[in-house]
Chains A and B, each alone.
Chain A
Amino acid sequence: MTVTLDDVACLLYFPIDVMLLSHRSISRDEAVELMETYLGSSTGDALKEVEKTKGAHCRFGYLERIFKERLKEQRDLETEYGVTQEVQRLRDQVVRIYLLYLVGITIFTDKSQWAVDVVYLRYFRDLDLVAGYSWELRH
């Protein structure tokens, strides 16, 4: 039996009043595209993740690695050239990597424990819109 939003509203009286997290599952190809565009992953890396996880997922170990790489890269670039567009782009990637990791180990854990569904990246495309989604209950 699937829990519907109507069940939630009727049984638990949870208010549902902001942008809902609503998505269908994505294919491996779509996952690769999301990782390339929003995490700055190389095609080879992204393909390796969907292959290793046998689905539209990526491993936490991979996220940890690119998190550190991008974080240092933006710092080095900033030291040399200041806050350029490239630095801003890297910073956005770093924040998305961190958020994907964070939701993967907290609210969207699954049985695998070593990988996270890349589909959640779609909510992190525009970092200014992230706060507009219904991540938690608000009273």
Chain B
Amino acid sequence: MHDKETIPIMAAQWWQDKLQGTDLGWLQDTSYSLIDHDLICAFVERWHEETSTFRLGR
């Protein structure tokens, strides 16, 4: 989505206004590019199906 052709167009005021109006712009700062596999495994091990929650105590 962001490359040297699109970035200058996306700098326009109309783009900023429209994106801000949707209140979803914060998602742009979210990224799953870094995945900590140990952390995910730890969460999976602590998942309790009966209550659909994580048990994070000892």
A interface residues (Cβ-Cβ under 8 A, vs B) = 1, 3, 7, 11-12, 64, 67-68, 71-72, 75, 83, 91-92, 95, 98-99, 101-103, 105-107, 109, 124, 127-128, 130-131, 135-136
Contact check, B24 vs A99: say whether CB atoms are below 8 A apart: yes
Can you report 10 A-B residue pairs in the complex whose CB atoms are below 8 A from each other? A71-B9, A71-B10, A91-B18, A95-B15, A99-B24, A106-B30, A106-B31, A124-B22, A130-B22, A135-B24
**Which chain A residues lie closer than 8 Å to B31 at the CB level?**
106
Known: A102-B28, A106-B27, A130-B21. A91 touches B14 (CB 8 A): yes
B38 in the interface (beta carbon within 8 A): no
Contact check, A103 vs B27: say whether CB atoms are below 8 A apart: yes
Per-position contact with A for B5-35: 1 when CB-CB < 8 Å, else 0?
1100110001100110111101110111000
| Chain A binding surface SS class | helix
Contact check, A95 vs B19: say whether CB atoms are below 8 A apart: yes
Partner of B6, one of A11, A67, A106: A67
Partner of A131, one of B21, B30, B51: B21
Known: A68-B6, A106-B27, A131-B23. A101 touches B1 (CB 8 A): yes
Contact check, B6 vs A71: say whether CB atoms are below 8 A apart: yes
- Which of chain B's residues has its CB closest to A105's CB? B32
- Which of chain A's residues has its CB closest to B53's CB? A11
- Which of chain B's residues has its CB closest to A94's CB? B15
**Which chain B residues lie closer than 8 Å to A136 at the CB level?**
26
